[in-house]
Structure 1
Amino acid sequence: MTDLVSLMAVPMAAQALHFPEISPALVSIDFGFVGLGTFHLRWYALAYIAGIMLAWQYATALISRPAMFGGKAPATKDDLDDIMFWIILGIILGGRLGYVLFYMVPYQQDVIAANPMSVLKIWDGGMSFHGGLIGVTLAIIVIARRRKLNLLPLGDIAGVVAPIGIMFGRLANFINAELYGRKTDAAVGMVFPEGVVPGSTPPAYDWVAKQWVYNGHEFARHPSQLYEAALEGLLPLIVASILIWKFNALKKPGLVAGLFLLMYGTGRSIVENFRLPDSFASDLPFGLTMGMILSTPMWIGGAWLVWNALKPKPLHSPD
């Protein structure tokens, strides 16, 4: 059976693109002489840092132009710095907690039972975007109340800058050869390394030999990480930027935040048809995936925010 699968994979893979096999780390430094092992400066970590820094710069540029919000910026530079700190915590803690609640508790109870501390091992992989979104939302709400800031304009700023981090994160997923797509014989199909190196992250990369490992039975797959970078990151960033710089969208509080939720939910739902579902959550009914299900509240919340921003405002009669 294995030989048959291998033979079936050959013609499909032979015409496919091949994974560029970029090292998961920009640089690796050996500290073994002091007993600290090897330090890897990974593209994944750099993607998070770059995304956060560029988002912070873009947000700073927005609040420095009060006219874009109708005359008054929703936050000061100090407010923004405080918000960014808590947003970073929200991304990390929310992303991990979301993964544990959405994926590990329903589908990997045996993993938790065998090692309860595994829920804390962020370095072993497992971050949920939807959990991170909840963490970021809670962080913004808490800081808005603490500093008495208007919540909706802050949400709009987040809706503009969040796609930057999403785009960089998906590109890092591609470099890590993870979250790749379903099998395909289309011209865009790509052969990813699918071998396993025990204890290695990413699991198909051999840090000792400094090479990606193939199992010899690879299929061409959709490079779904690139689809997500485009539909969840680049496209929402372009659309939101055009709306705020050309059409004064920030003057309608909640509009940009709502559109971001709708665009992300749409992009994620589309790509889920090409992305390989997690093996432990691949039997959901009606062809749904966990990503589709978790995007449903984004559709609802986004639609409400857009409706609320565009509905006619009552005219205030003079006293």
Structure 2
Amino acid sequence: MLTYPEIDPVAVALGPLQIHWYGLTYLAGLAFAWGLAARRSQQPHSPLARQQVDDLLFYAALGVVLGGRMGYAIFYGGERLAQDPAWLLRVWEGGMSFHGGMLGVIVATFWYARSQKIAFGPLLDFVAPLAPLGLALGRLGNFIGQELWGRAADVPWAMVFPRDPLQLARHPSQLYQFALEGMLLFVILLWFSRRARPTWAVSGVFALGYGVLRFIAEFFREPDAHLGIQAFGWMTRGQILCVPMILLGIYMLWYAYGRTGARLSKN
């Protein structure tokens, strides 16, 4: 069993002001996304000029935060939201959902595409490879904050999280998700999007890849205590939310490559 490298979740404390590592990982993810978007905007098949990157990332960041919070409230806190609607606004109490953040980014990208008269499909393909690094850093934030830990395990790399009331040796599932839906998906998307692809293909790879990799990681992650197992005696809420993503990714790839003379995406 490994020893958990306990790190103070508060990175900086200035009197009553506390800056948590989780928040810093969000900022770092946005910074990496901005740098990658700026570089990719120089490609000849980019749908976006360099001077448009800043505005796009601003709206995408709003989509991540607003969509992530609303998604968590709806997908994971429905009963609490119904009893206390003001809880949605108390973001300091925690709670963000990737699936909600993804929907928020899609809405923000759609709005920006319409406002700039850019085709939505190619722009979404441009945005898709920017997300996995942010996801990877967010999972590191979960690990430092000792949240979303794994199920009980007896593997040699299992660890006891000090904040775990049961004090069980568990899978460090945050690191699994860092490696799978973060770094591995980033490498796949970076490689796949290096040249022009049919419109919707890059977005399809993202949806399919994230859905499959998150579905796998959920087998090692402790289900949310207030939700537990949701279906078939083994399926978690996270896995249920991944099923539509997997189906959507398959459909997008079929649509992208199944059309005669499919137009290459400017991504």
TM-score range, shorter chain: over 0.9
- Structure 1 match to 2:31: 53
Please say which structure displays the higher CA radius of gyration.
1
Secondary structure of 2:253's aligned partner: helix
- Structure 1 match to 2:265: none
- Structure 2 match to 1:86: 59
- Structure 1 match to 2:8: 23
The alignment status of 1:62 with 2:62, answered yes or no, reads no
- Structure 2 match to 1:257: 203
- Structure 2 match to 1:300: 247
Quick one: distance in 2 between partners of 1:185 and 1:169?
26
TM value normalised by structure 1: 0.78
Secondary structure of 1:28's aligned partner: strand
- Structure 1 match to 2:124: 155
Secondary structure of 1:285's aligned partner: coil
Which amino acid in structure 1 is aligned with residue 220 of structure 2?
F
The alignment status of 1:243 with 2:182, answered yes or no, reads no
Note the C-alpha offset of 1:85. Answer: 1.1
5+ residue gaps in structure 2? 263-267
Equivalent in 47, 57, 69 of residue 96 of structure 1 = 69
Quick one: distance in 2 between partners of 1:242 and 1:92?
28
- Structure 1 match to 2:222: 276
Quick one: distance in 2 between partners of 1:152 and 1:232?
22
Secondary structure of 2:146's aligned partner: coil
Note the C-alpha offset of 1:93. Answer: 0.7
Residues 305, 26 of structure 1: alpha-carbon distance in 2 compared, 3 angstrom cutoff = same
The alignment status of 1:291 with 2:263, answered yes or no, reads no
Quick one: distance in 1 between partners of 2:229 and 2:250?
29
The alignment status of 1:108 with 2:57, answered yes or no, reads no
Secondary structure of 2:193's aligned partner: helix
Secondary structure of 1:188's aligned partner: coil
Contact 2:229–2:237 under 8 Å retained in 1: no
Task: Indicate the RMSD between aligned Cα atoms, in angstroms.
Answer: 1.6
Give 1:169-248 correspondences, 5 Å limit: 169-194=138-163, 215=165, 217-245=166-194, 248=195
Residues 139, 268 of structure 1: alpha-carbon distance in 2 compared, 3 angstrom cutoff = same
- Structure 1 match to 2:113: 144
Note the C-alpha offset of 1:312. Answer: 4.8
Contact 2:223–2:229 under 8 Å retained in 1: no
Which amino acid in structure 2 is aligned with residue 302 of structure 1?
G
Quick one: distance in 2 between partners of 1:61 and 1:313?
31
Quick one: distance in 2 between partners of 1:151 and 1:129?
21
Quick one: distance in 2 between partners of 1:310 and 1:283?
37
Note the C-alpha offset of 1:304. Answer: 1.6
Quick one: distance in 1 between partners of 2:184 and 2:192?
12
- Structure 2 match to 1:13: none
Secondary structure of 1:88's aligned partner: helix
Quick one: distance in 1 between partners of 2:259 and 2:68?
37
Quick one: distance in 2 between partners of 1:119 and 1:27?
26
Note the C-alpha offset of 1:97. Answer: 0.6
Q: 1:118-148, CA deviations, whole angstroms, 9 ceiling, x for partnerless residues?
A: 2211111111110010000000011111111
Q: 1:87-135, CA deviations, whole angstroms, 9 ceiling, x for partnerless residues?
A: 1111111111111111211x436xx53x442221111111111001000
Which amino acid in structure 1 is aligned with residue 223 of structure 2?
P
Note the C-alpha offset of 1:285. Answer: 2.0
Note the C-alpha offset of 1:288. Answer: 1.1
Secondary structure of 1:41's aligned partner: strand
The alignment status of 1:74 with 2:47, answered yes or no, reads yes
**Percent identity of paired positions between Structure 1 and Structure 2:** 40
TM value normalised by structure 2: 0.92
Secondary structure of 1:137's aligned partner: helix
